[in-house]
Every structure is written in structure tokens, then in C-alpha cells.
Amino acid sequence: MRTTGALAAAVCTLMLAGASTAAEGDLTLGVPTALGTIEGQDSLRSAQLAAQEINAAGGVEVGGKKRRLEIVSIDTREAEAGIPVFDALAAMEKLIAEKKPVAIVVGAFRSEVLLSAMDMIAKVKIPYLCTIGMSPDFEKKIAGEYEKYKFNFRLGLSAPYLVGNLGHMLDSVKKKYGTDKVYFVHQDVAWAKGTVAGLSKVLAAGGWKVVGSDAYPTGARDFSSSLTKAKFGSAQVLVPVFDMPESGVLVKQVHSMKVPALVAGFISPAAPATAWATFSGDIDGLVNFLFEPGSIPLATPRSQHFTEAYAKAYGEAARNKLSGHGPGPSYDAVFVLADAIRRAGSTQADAVVAELEKTDTQGAIGKIVFNKTHQVIYGEDPTQAAVSLAFQWRAGKRRLVYPEAVAEGAFELPGK
């Protein structure tokens, strides 16, 4: 019976450990997301940073009284292939039932989870500010049944905007260098396939020739076939769309196979500032996309403040590893929400939602204004809209090359 005794003791300890420690009068914000991913981890920390700053300034003003913000989180593990949607939702359900947050920030990582979470939010009726999931169906659902889904807002980049921005960026390359042959290499998952499909159409309309397009299952570690075909087909621009760690192999292989094309797209391992050291210079000339500013800030005071405060709170190393998707909008989301609660004078969901819709402020990601379907508007000028950034690795540094309003220099084709 020793073993069962030990088991029982362990269970009791865990139950006690899970007990809530929030003080009375605190406003709780829930963060149910894939904490096992860097996007999730960094977004959580950004949200916590924002909460700390608000509390340091006295807290959120709700109808005359100042209340502290408290962030609670749960790991939905939804990024792992074996976790089904309902498992991730069960985690979110548990968070809502136990901690009773007044709103959710950061939100779901995977599109399927995001869309199903919208249904849960429609029942629970608390504001949901997502910053990671990118599916366009998010806006479609809100447009289709506004009253039901009006509690959902998105501050992160959406897939249609990504396609648009990538298209504009590639067109600037074409305008400058006259390149017109492109090869796509992407991950065999819904968002990447959708992005490439959309981008192919946009580019074909713009006069580009798509030399090839290959899909790789998650976990693939040899990209020689695509690279050979790209080299063989004289592709001038290689567009990768990956967020799996194994795409690090692609980065190294492009270099070792001496593919003379400009690599411009989205490879998550090559995005953080530490990537130069990780890949020991193999990424020179690679153009990578940051979905939102954060890892590289805009020249605005608010954006600069975010990166510096993050470094102060979590260390330079953490700041250098910042993911390119999630931290910026998650930081802004907390401020946007706090401000909406202040203007509404209460935490009552309908009132807060009404105020959220009227948001018009400068954030770390640029100007934050929601469109009719509760998506932050992204554009090319940070004074008019939020922006996505593209940078090129050059001599160990990330140089912003897009959009023109913030570019530090022009694209440079590889002189290999």
C-alpha cells in the first residue's frame, strides 16, 4: 500500500498547488495558448510585462476604483501534432471555469483551435483578444454572425494580410532587380498552403513565373530535391514558408548547395536575433518576415519602449530570442483592453466590446484600429496602421528592408 499512499499524497499536493492565489479585487486575464512554442512563451511574457507596467502605474481604472491586473495561463499544448482540438479546448475551459478571467488575451495558436474557441467564447461571453492564430475564417465568422461572435478581436497579423505584404515585398524586389522567377517551398500545413496558394495567384497576376512549389511534411529534414530543381530552373527568388524547427536544415542547405537565389519568405528559426550565431553566418542575405514588430521595434517611442522594457524585465538574451509573431500584439492587447475597460467604466462584456471597437491608439505594432470584423488593420505606414516588417540578414545584423516607410536600406541580391 506504500505506492498507493504515495500516489494519494502526490495527488493531494497537486490539488493544493493548483489552488488559486489571486487577491480579491484583481482583474484576471487568461492566457490559454501553446506555451511550448516560442510564440506562446514570448506572448505570455509580453502580456505579463504589460500587466506589470499597468500595475506599477496604479492599475486599471474601473468606474473610479483602481484594480490590479493579474495574468493566469495554461498550456494547451496545441502545437503538438498529437493534441486534438478538444483537448486544447478542455484546457481553455478549465482556465475559464477555475480562474474566472474577465477577458482572454493571446488566445489560440492553431487555426482550428481558434475557430472552435470562438464558439466557446460565444457561450461564455468574455472579450477574447487573439494575437497568434491567423486564419481568415476568424473574420468570416464575425461577419456572418456579428452578435454571436462580437467578443472576438484580433491584434495579430492575419493570413490575408500576410499574403498581401509578402506580395508587396516581392514586388519591390521585382521593381528594383527585374526578377520574375520564383520557387515556393513550404510546410504541408493549412496556413502555409493557404499562404502559398494566395501568394502564387498574386504573383502570377504581377507577372511572375512560378517555377515550382513543393510541400514538405512537418519534420522533413532534407530539402535537396527542391533546391536542385530551383537551381536547375534558374529560380531567382526562393520563397520558404515554414514555422517548424527542422526548417533550419533548409537554411543550411541553401548555403551548402550554393543556390544562387534570393531567399525571401518566412522561416521561423532564422527570425530571432540569435539566429546569426545559431547558423554561423549561413543566413547572410536571407530576407525574413516578422509578422509584427517586437523582435525588431519600429522607430516609434512606444515600440522602442517595448523592446527595452522586455530586455530589462527578462534579460538581453531573452530579448534577442524574441519570436517574430505574437509578442508585440500581445503587449498591446493588454493596454488596449485596459483602456477599453477604463472608458467603459466596468468589466461588463458588452460595454467593453463597444469600447474596444472604438480603439484608436499607437502601440508597439504601429497604429491600432480595428476594422468592422474586429481585425487590426495592417498597412505600410506605421502612423496609419499596424505593420509587418521584413528584414535582411547582413553581416550579423538584421536590416529592415520593408515596408518603405521604415526601411533602413534596400534589398541586396546575393552576390554568390
Partner 1 sequence: MSREQAPDPGRKAAVGPSAGVASGLRPWARRERIDRGIKARSDDISVLASPRDLAWLLLPRTLPIAALLVFPLLGGLTGSYWQAVMLNTLVIALLALSWDLLASVGLISLGQSFFFGIGGYLAGILDTQFKLGPLVGIALATILGAVLATALLLPLLRLRGIYFGLITFALPLLLMRLVETTGALGGTEGMSGLTALPNRTVELYLLIAALLATVAGFRRLSASDRGLVLHALRDNDRAVLAAGFSLPWLRTQAVFWAALPATFAGAFVTHRYQFVGMPAFSIEYSTLPLTSAVVGGTGGFFGAVVGAFLLVPLSELLRGFGSLRVVVYSLVLLGFILVLPEGIFRFAARKYAQEERVVPLGEGQECPPPS
Partner 2 sequence: MKVLIVSTLIYGLVQGATLMLTALGFSLTFGLSGVANFAHGGLYLLSGFLAWALVNRLGMPFPLAAAATVLLVALLGAAVYRLVLRPVRGITLSEVISTFALGVALIEGFRWRGFTTYDFSLPPFWPGEVEIAGVSVDRQRLAIVGAGFLLPLALWAFTHHTRVGLALRGMAQDETTALAMGIDSDWAATLSLSLGAGLAAVAAVLLLPLGIISINTGYEVLLVALAVTVLGGLESTAGMIVGSLLIGFAVVITGNFVGPHLSEVVYLGALVLVLGLKPSGLLGRSKEIEERV
Residues of span 174-233 touching partner 1 by CB under 8 A: 188-190, 217-218
Cα–Cα dist 52/56, whole Å: 6
Q: Which does 114 bind (CB under 5 to 8 A by kind): partner 1, partner 2, none?
A: none
Q: Which of 83, 197, 318, 377 binds partner 1 (CB under 8 A)?
A: 83
State which residue, 15 or 23, has the beta carbon closest to partner 1: 15
Core vs surface per residue 186-200: b (16+ CB within 10 A) or e:
bbebebbebbbebbb
252 lies in the site for partner 2, by CB under 8 A: yes
Q: Which strands, in side-by-side order, build the sheet including 262-267?
A: 209-216, 181-187, 237-242, 262-267, 287-290, 389-394, 397-402
CA atoms 369, 371, 373, 375: torsion sign: negative
Is 268 a binding residue for partner 2 by CB under 8 A? The answer is yes
For partner 1, the closer of residues 57 and 190 by Cβ is 190
> Is residue 7 close enough to count as binding partner 1 by CB under 8 A?
yes
Report the partner that residue 361 touches, choosing among partner 1, partner 2, none (CB closer than 5 to 8 A by kind).
none
# of chain residues touching partner 2 (CB under 8 A): 43
> From the list 109, 151, 223, 402, which residue makes contact with partner 2 (rule: CB under 8 A)?
223
Would you list the DSSP string of 99-126? H--SEEEE--SSHHHHHHHHHHHHHH--
Burial zone of 232 (CB within 10 Å; 0-12 exposed, 13-18 middle, 19+ buried): exposed
Return the number of other C-beta atoms located less than 10 Å from residue 137's C-beta: 15
Q: 306: burial class by Cβ within 10 Å (0-12, 13-18, 19+)?
A: buried
Alpha carbon distance 207, 411 (integer Å): 20
Closest approach of partner 1 to the CB of residue 16, in Å = 11
- Span from 25-33, 116-124, 264-272, 326-334 in contact with partner 2 (CB under 8 A): 264-272
Residue 219's nearest CA partner among 253, 177, 247 is: 247
Number of residues lying near partner 1 (CB under 8 A): 31
391 touches partner 2 (CB under 8 A): no
Residue of 53, 70, 75, 339 interacting with partner 1 (CB under 8 A):
75
Closest approach of partner 1 to the CB of residue 116, in Å = 8
Tell me which of 1, 19, 23, 56 binds partner 1, using CB under 8 A.
1
Residue 245 in contact with partner 1, rule: CB under 8 A: no
**Do 151 and 121 touch, CB atoms closer than 8 A?**
yes
* Residue 57 contacts partner 1 per CB under 8 A: no
* Angle, CA 129 vertex, CA 127 and CA 133 arms, to 5°: 135
- Return the half-sphere exposure (C-beta side, CA atoms, 13 A cut-off) of residue 328: 30
DSSP class of 269: G
Nearer to partner 2, 167 or 327 (CB): 327
Interface pick for partner 1 out of 57, 90, 143, 299 (rule CB under 8 A): 90
Backbone angles phi, psi at 152, to 5 degrees: -95, 130
Residues that bind partner 2 (CB under 8 A): 36-38, 41, 81, 188, 214-226, 228-229, 231-232, 244-246, 248-249, 252-253, 256-258, 268-269, 272, 274-275, 277-280, 321
Residues that bind partner 1 (CB under 8 A): 1, 3-4, 7, 11, 14-15, 18, 35-36, 74-75, 77, 81-87, 90-91, 93-94, 97, 112, 188-190, 217-218
